[in-house]
Structure 1
Amino acid sequence: MKILRPIYLVISLFVLSFHISLAQNIKIQGEIRDSLSGIPYPAIKFGDMLATGNAKGQFTAFVPAGKQLTVKVTATGYKTYQTTLPALTADTTINWQIESLTQALGEVVISATRKPESPKNIVSTVSIVSKKKLDNEIAVNPDLTSILANEVPGFAPTAQSGSNVGQNLRGRPMLVMIDGVSQSSPLRNAEVDLRSIDPSVLQQIEVVKGATAIYGNGAAGGLVNYVTLVPDTATKFAGKTDVYLNGSMVKVRNSVGGRISQMFYGKVGKFDYVASGVAEETGEYKDAKGDLVGPNYSLGETNTYNAFAKLGYQPAPNQRIQVVYNYYSSLQNSNFTLVNGNLATGQKATGVLGKPLGIPTGAAYNNNLHLSYKVDSLFGHTSLNADAYYEKRKDVFYVSLGRFNGGDGQSLANNEKKGVRLFLQTPFLTQPALNANLSYGIDLLRDKTSQPLVDGRVWVPTMDMTNLAPFAQADFTIIRDLIFKTGFRYERVNIDVDDYRTLRITNASGATVTPAFDVKGGTLKYNTGLFNAGFKYNRFALFSPYVSFSQGFSVMDIGLALRDAKVNSIDKINTDAVKVNNYEAGFESRYQNLTFSASAYESTSKLGIEVVYDPTTAMFNTARSPEKIYGFELAANYRFSNLLNVNGSYSYTEGKRDVNQNGKYDDPQDAYLNGRRISAPKITGGVTYSPTQVLDVTLNYTGIGNRNRFEKNTTGIYNGNEGAVKAYNLFNLVAGYKVNKSTRLSLGIENLFNEDYFPARAQWFMQPGFYSKGRGRAFNFGVSVRY
């Protein structure tokens, strides 16, 4: 990092006793370096204290002997660094690192360790989708499943759908959260949780990859945390209005839709607030040929609403009370009935005018209420974060033809959560060569989930889960360069299920697959400990390596097992939980304007859950076998100048299951994990050019590679979830023009070169109703006004 101007350093030494003469002083000396680049910073003068410095960042100071004292290091453009020195009795050499305000205030991650932390101190792979990136993506398409697929390496490609089936993280289920509050349920994974909030009210998205013991149940593959907005002004009242017009550029007719977002925010005394409302209506989605995209779960003809409010109160400088409410709804109101595709001939699914069966599909509602209290400097400089939350959502699925008792049926996913969490952090070592903090607390969750049919019949009975989990995490910083983290979490889970009666399930020809019968309920109990540990070495900006081990835990998709029961008591059903061991190694590298990162991982579990297709019954069933998933990710960013920036990434994941359970994965009986779990390789890239202060242009690229791991069946097509994925390439363009200080225009073009393709999920899912083409070239024109 090149020094563009002199940095003025002042080291202020606050001495606890003022009665020691200069004859008793001892000398401390050392260097001051940038914490990220490792480059020493010069000091012109240290003021009128007993300290001097030189242009190489080296300093000499004199301090009283035998007394503990506090040292503050301050520099223009840098975060104040403060530490407590023990009573020194001899001359000492100490090196300090300071953190730039850009780094300190920019990318700060909360999700990985449940406290604000710089990414460079995290011993796992974390991806951050910043506010700026979010705004650019919204200018093209505000769908969060697309945003995450475009911006996060290792994240499976989007299906451009209201469902995120198959869109997992490194081949395993993830926990989706809003400000740390779970939107997912491991009891019945409805795979619709990514669309839980509108991106316009987000400050950033944090994606922690790999199993995590910090959050426990449901985070076997990692987590996605939607961090909501905080006011960015000190004025009492400010606002922002966004208006967008969007539609197809291939065939405009009936494709035009609109979106309006209104936000107010500000600070009044000790209070701060954000209030936002979003309404969006999309037109018909058209593919590259101008034909209607198949309406099954399509985001075309969808009405979306989001209401958000956040109120904060700071009764004292070290305290904050905050309440957040968010309402989200996104339902498809299509004017078309589905025309199935033909898997054998490659004919795409589409639709014809007519009223669809059932009620509108999508997120009927998702309500979140979250109250939190934070306080710093309790006993022993301990900080406390206590919160309570309530979440209730209902999602509507498509109509299954002829599946239930030989007739049609449409199911709902009902989920209700109540929880409290207590998180504390206490520093217990503050030595120059060793700093340590202990984080500890407890999580309590009550989750009630069910999957009835719209007509009132019970498909999955109510599952009532109580989850109690104490945890502790210790963080050590050794000689300022070596980071060591280790922690433990204990999961205690009880799930109560009442007696219920299964539905008679029939296949496409009306034959009975499983008869209706009574199942005796009971209580399922799970108790397990989860461990994590990791190292990272930050001495050199050119090479900062890390290694980590973490365990994840999730009760399997209990609802899926209960609805497909073949026995008359739940204690006879295989409902064993999934415990994951995740191993990861990687490094980060920064050289001048280049940043580069690489990571490799392996994830194993003695028991997994794979949804496999049974061609004899035309039904999907679950397979429970040991699993191994492995892969790697590469990411780079290079800033040529303030005008031009480029970035790119590559991610590869593979997985197999040990079918014969002999500890090997290369036997003929063993099988690859299917497309629902393992995505095809993905390449992303982006170029941002800002020729003037009022104009910027970004071109983003997402490429999906080939994956073909299975043989066709006797009918000449692939089984469900096993279809071959053929590569495709998508480019999105967004241009922004700042009309004046308060007004900005934007133009986003999705699928710039009008690629004619089937999304990856349409290819591997191999279901005629979901064999739809991707959206063709589309525009999104927006006006944003701040005041």
Structure 2
Amino acid sequence: MFCRSRLQLSISLACLALPGLPAFAQEAVELDAVTISATRARSEAGKTPQKITVISREQIEQQLAITSDHGQVLSNLIPSYSPSRQKMTSSGETFRGRSALVLIDGVPQSTPLRDSARDGYTIDLAMVERIEVIHGASAEHGLGATGGIINYVTRRPAGGTFKQHAGVSLNGPTDYDSEGLGYKLDYRVEGNQGSWDYLAALSWQTRGMFYDADGELIGVDDTQGDIMDSTSNDLLLKLGYWFDSEQNLELMVNRFQLEGEHEYVNVPGDRAAGIPATSRKGQPLGEAPQNEVLATSLSYKHDDLFGNRLSAQLYSQRFRARFGGGSHASFQDASIAPVGTLFDQSQNESDKYGGKFSLGREGMFDGLLGLTGGFDILQDTTSQMLIATDREWVPETRFRNFAPFFQAEIQASERLTLHTGVRHEFARLDIDDFHTIASTTTPAGGVSVEGGSPTFEETLFNAGLVFQATDWAQVFANYSEGFGMPDVGRVLRGIGQPGLSVDSFLDLQPIVTDNREIGLRFNQGPFDAEVSYFESDAELGARLQNVGGFYQVRRERTEIDGIEATAGWQINPVHRLQATYAEVNGRSDTDGDGKVDTDLDGANISPDRYGISWQANWSDKLNSRLQANHYASRGFDDPDLDFDGYSLVDASLGYRLPVGEASLGIENLLNKDYLTYYAQAASKRDDQLFKGRGRTVTLGYQVSF
């Protein structure tokens, strides 16, 4: 059931714009249709029963002029996405209070079997043409999208036989040490020749140290990994062949690597005294944390195969995420070294192979019916190694999945469109017999666990409607289900009870999330708005709980609800204002009585957020952007995790030169001094009491020729 008071609030927010709209009826703007490749039926933006956001290349560049932090770019543009941790890890960065499935051209990047929370850095945004965001649980691409889908669509070759692009940027804090300077270079060549098209792009970036508003070094996360004091590179290759105007074959290869320079160590703060964590020069033990990702895809599309639309894709992904090391209690083994002295570090290793096949047809029965059907296959092999001592911390886990699906779009009347679909998941998890590693809790050497091959079979439904109330007002409603796995690796490695069998271990059961949403869209003259209210429930969810400074998975019922709203006003051809609002609330059932009773903390949900931006295109040469986000304070059941809230303001200028374009961006324009949301509301560890980045300036130049 929808919460009546919140539904009334959603409708009231949207209706605030109504009184002045009819006066602009004659000025309605007809926008070009944008096809969403992340929807299997290739839906058009603005005509879907669920909220979908398309982040254009122009919007990406506006944000990159200010910050290169992927998490912050997403948070600035997606209201219900958590504030960035400003680290290599995205743990605690949630979407509508749950996990998002990250894709690159439809190739899954997330590692749900052992969630390393590193899928935020799998591609350089210089390689991305647009970002397609499906809000709320979705089974359209299978495993992992309990909170939504974020699909990075890579650049496509521009027209012409041979074109080049080069860009350079420099960023750093104001008035502080040169150790904070960072640089970026990117180069691209593209074109077409006869039936062939091609694109090759390369980027290289080095990031300096981050400083807070007081000019002090921010603490480096030497366990989960950090983007400051790091170097990354990305190589994107695309080659396409057009058989005719309706069908083509395309190969995509993207290799991304981000690795820390390993020159600083963490200096823990003191939470009780209000002293934040900082950094100092040092030589950390072990190897530097890194992300190394290779994604490949071979896609064939035929837009008119006897009147049908055919799409076939084969893909692979090789993912290696190395974490920082330490003499943690969970690594100790008295048979190797005296307890408390054994150093180790882990690496998450995942290899995926899969295929996606679909066949669709529109316009049947005089344009009243469109159908899309197909199937997906996936094999995901994941493990986590302790690389200093060559121990298997998480046993090799093999996930195999076959999922047929069917979608229908029905034009019930001139104004009413119905959407419905079903997807059936056949899934199997294979785990051999294994022995957990020794730790301080199991000093005898861990326990033996009998392997198994549990199978899961889930039928997932979606249904929605879009009602065109007027030429400028639209109502939409949607019910969808998402399918995910708990963090299997974290569960398996934490087994301390002897005699358990994988086949009978309840915590390996899948997560099925029910998402209900209702909303309104307006596009009238200079005004546009979209507001939606959503509920997301999981009978057997996966809540992260901080135990002794480390997270463990709790399988409990979780209920999340919230509001998302955006409103824009094109004042005139020069100026545009946009406002955003997001509210997310979540509770879990911690005592097992079937009723939720405990607030979800900041590791699971984002704070309420108010945002506003002003975009001005002063001339064909000069443009500017000013944006502000306020993250509202909130209390939790645990007062030690109460969030104080903060506001951030960013600004940018762009200028077209006789040759090329220059940009100036300022992140945290007012030099706000604050602790990050994660540091306040999700972690109690002194070494994770991180300040946010102070005022930072980015200078950029790019040229196409």
Partner in structure 1 of residue 509 of structure 2: 576
Residue deviations 1:167-200 (CA, integer Å, cap 9, x gap)? 1111111110001110012211111102110111
Q: Which of 247, 255, 268 is the equivalent residue of 2:180? A: 255
Are 1:689 and 2:616 matched, yes or no?
yes
Q: Is the 8 A contact 1:277 1:307 kept in 2?
A: yes
CA–CA distance in 2 between the matches of 1:325 and 1:629? Answer: 37
Structure 1 residue matching 2:610: 3-state secondary structure: strand
Q: Is the 8 A contact 2:127 2:201 kept in 1?
A: yes
Are 1:414 and 2:349 matched, yes or no?
yes
Are 1:504 and 2:438 matched, yes or no?
yes
Partner in structure 1 of residue 652 of structure 2: 734
Give the drift of 1:142. 2.0
Give the drift of 1:756. 0.6
CA–CA distance in 2 between the matches of 1:345 and 1:738? Answer: 49
Partner in structure 1 of residue 252 of structure 2: 324
TM-score where L is the length of structure 2: 0.92
Q: Is the 8 A contact 2:24 2:526 kept in 1?
A: no
Partner in structure 2 of residue 18 of structure 1: none
Partner in structure 2 of residue 556 of structure 1: 486
Structure 1 residue matching 2:243: 3-state secondary structure: coil
Partner in structure 2 of residue 673 of structure 1: 600
Give the drift of 1:430. 3.6
The change in CA–CA distance for 1:776 and 1:514 in structure 2 (over 3 A counts) is: farther
Structure 1 residue matching 2:66: 3-state secondary structure: coil
Structure 2 residue matching 1:298: 3-state secondary structure: coil
Which structure would you say has the larger RCO, counting Cα contacts within 8 Å and 6 or more residues apart?
2
Residue deviations 1:222-279 (CA, integer Å, cap 9, x gap)? 11100111123x2100111001111111414321121000011112111111110000
Partner in structure 1 of residue 419 of structure 2: 485
CA–CA distance in 1 between the matches of 2:26 and 2:522? Answer: 20
2:600 maps to a residue whose letter is L
Q: Is the 8 A contact 1:453 1:459 kept in 2?
A: yes
Q: Is the 8 A contact 2:52 2:135 kept in 1?
A: yes
Partner in structure 2 of residue 750 of structure 1: 667
Partner in structure 1 of residue 400 of structure 2: 466
Structure 2 residue matching 1:377: 3-state secondary structure: strand
CA–CA distance in 2 between the matches of 1:37 and 1:442? Answer: 46
Partner in structure 1 of residue 164 of structure 2: 239
Q: Which of 216, 226, 240 is the equivalent residue of 1:312? A: 240
What pairs up with 1:91-170 in 2 under 5 angstroms? 100=30, 102-104=31-33, 107-111=34-38, 113-170=39-96
Partner in structure 1 of residue 308 of structure 2: 382
The change in CA–CA distance for 1:631 and 1:190 in structure 2 (over 3 A counts) is: same
Q: Is the 8 A contact 2:487 2:553 kept in 1?
A: no
Partner in structure 1 of residue 453 of structure 2: 523
Partner in structure 1 of residue 11 of structure 2: none
Are 1:443 and 2:361 matched, yes or no?
no
Residue deviations 1:424-446 (CA, integer Å, cap 9, x gap)? 10236242xx5211100000001
Are 1:773 and 2:691 matched, yes or no?
yes
CA–CA distance in 2 between the matches of 1:513 and 1:333? Answer: 35
Partner in structure 2 of residue 271 of structure 1: 196
Give the drift of 1:37. 11
Residue deviations 1:523-557 (CA, integer Å, cap 9, x gap)? 12111100000001124144201111111111211
CA–CA distance in 2 between the matches of 1:135 and 1:253? Answer: 25
1:571 maps to a residue whose letter is D
Are 1:198 and 2:108 matched, yes or no?
no
CA–CA distance in 2 between the matches of 1:465 and 1:277? Answer: 33
% same residue:
29
Q: CA RMSD in A?
A: 2.1
1:376 maps to a residue whose letter is D
The change in CA–CA distance for 1:199 and 1:620 in structure 2 (over 3 A counts) is: closer
Work out the number of aligned pairs and report it.
668
Partner in structure 2 of residue 762 of structure 1: 679
Structure 2 residue matching 1:214: 3-state secondary structure: coil
Residue deviations 1:280-333 (CA, integer Å, cap 9, x gap)? 011111111111111113321110100001111111121111000000001111
CA–CA distance in 1 between the matches of 2:444 and 2:646? Answer: 40
What pairs up with 1:37-56 in 2 under 5 angstroms? none
The change in CA–CA distance for 1:602 and 1:356 in structure 2 (over 3 A counts) is: same
What pairs up with 1:690-709 in 2 under 5 angstroms? 690-709=617-636
Q: Is the 8 A contact 2:469 2:475 kept in 1?
A: no
Q: Is the 8 A contact 1:652 1:681 kept in 2?
A: yes
Give the drift of 1:201. 1.0
The change in CA–CA distance for 1:422 and 1:436 in structure 2 (over 3 A counts) is: same
Are 1:282 and 2:216 matched, yes or no?
no
Q: Is the 8 A contact 2:26 2:525 kept in 1?
A: no
Moved more, 139-148 or 300-309: 139-148
Partner in structure 2 of residue 292 of structure 1: 217
The change in CA–CA distance for 1:662 and 1:261 in structure 2 (over 3 A counts) is: same
CA–CA distance in 2 between the matches of 1:514 and 1:99? Answer: 71
CA–CA distance in 2 between the matches of 1:194 and 1:228? Answer: 15
Residue deviations 1:85-127 (CA, integer Å, cap 9, x gap)? xxxxxxxxxxxxx994x422xx33221x224332121110111
TM-score where L is the length of structure 1: 0.82
Partner in structure 1 of residue 3 of structure 2: none
Residue deviations 1:745-781 (CA, integer Å, cap 9, x gap)? 1011111111111110111212222111111111110
1:161 maps to a residue whose letter is K
CA–CA distance in 2 between the matches of 1:599 and 1:524? Answer: 38
Give the drift of 1:514. 9.3
Q: Is the 8 A contact 1:607 1:624 kept in 2?
A: yes
CA–CA distance in 1 between the matches of 2:179 and 2:361? Answer: 59
CA–CA distance in 1 between the matches of 2:165 and 2:660? Answer: 10
CA–CA distance in 2 between the matches of 1:180 and 1:154? Answer: 22
Q: Is the 8 A contact 2:167 2:186 kept in 1?
A: yes
Partner in structure 2 of residue 230 of structure 1: 156
2:258 maps to a residue whose letter is S
Residue deviations 1:34-53 (CA, integer Å, cap 9, x gap)? xx9999999xxxxxxxxxxx
Q: Is the 8 A contact 2:411 2:418 kept in 1?
A: yes
Structure 2 residue matching 1:565: 3-state secondary structure: coil
Partner in structure 2 of residue 609 of structure 1: 542
Partner in structure 1 of residue 320 of structure 2: 394
The change in CA–CA distance for 1:675 and 1:304 in structure 2 (over 3 A counts) is: same
Partner in structure 1 of residue 385 of structure 2: 452
CA–CA distance in 2 between the matches of 1:745 and 1:176? Answer: 31
CA–CA distance in 2 between the matches of 1:360 and 1:173? Answer: 27
Q: Is the 8 A contact 1:390 1:417 kept in 2?
A: yes
CA–CA distance in 2 between the matches of 1:360 and 1:37? Answer: 60
Q: Is the 8 A contact 2:464 2:477 kept in 1?
A: yes
Stretches of structure 1 lacking an aligned partner (at least 5 in a row): 1-35, 43-97, 713-717
Give the drift of 1:337. 1.3
CA–CA distance in 2 between the matches of 1:499 and 1:697? Answer: 60
Partner in structure 2 of residue 211 of structure 1: 137
CA–CA distance in 2 between the matches of 1:710 and 1:339? Answer: 29
Q: Which of 103, 109, 114 is the equivalent residue of 1:177? A: 103
Are 1:337 and 2:268 matched, yes or no?
no
Stretches of structure 2 lacking an aligned partner (at least 5 in a row): 1-20, 333-338
Residue deviations 1:435-475 (CA, integer Å, cap 9, x gap)? 21110000000100011112211110110111100000001
Partner in structure 1 of residue 361 of structure 2: 426
CA–CA distance in 1 between the matches of 2:580 and 2:496? Answer: 45
Q: Is the 8 A contact 1:126 1:207 kept in 2?
A: yes
CA–CA distance in 2 between the matches of 1:533 and 1:145? Answer: 31
The change in CA–CA distance for 1:686 and 1:619 in structure 2 (over 3 A counts) is: closer
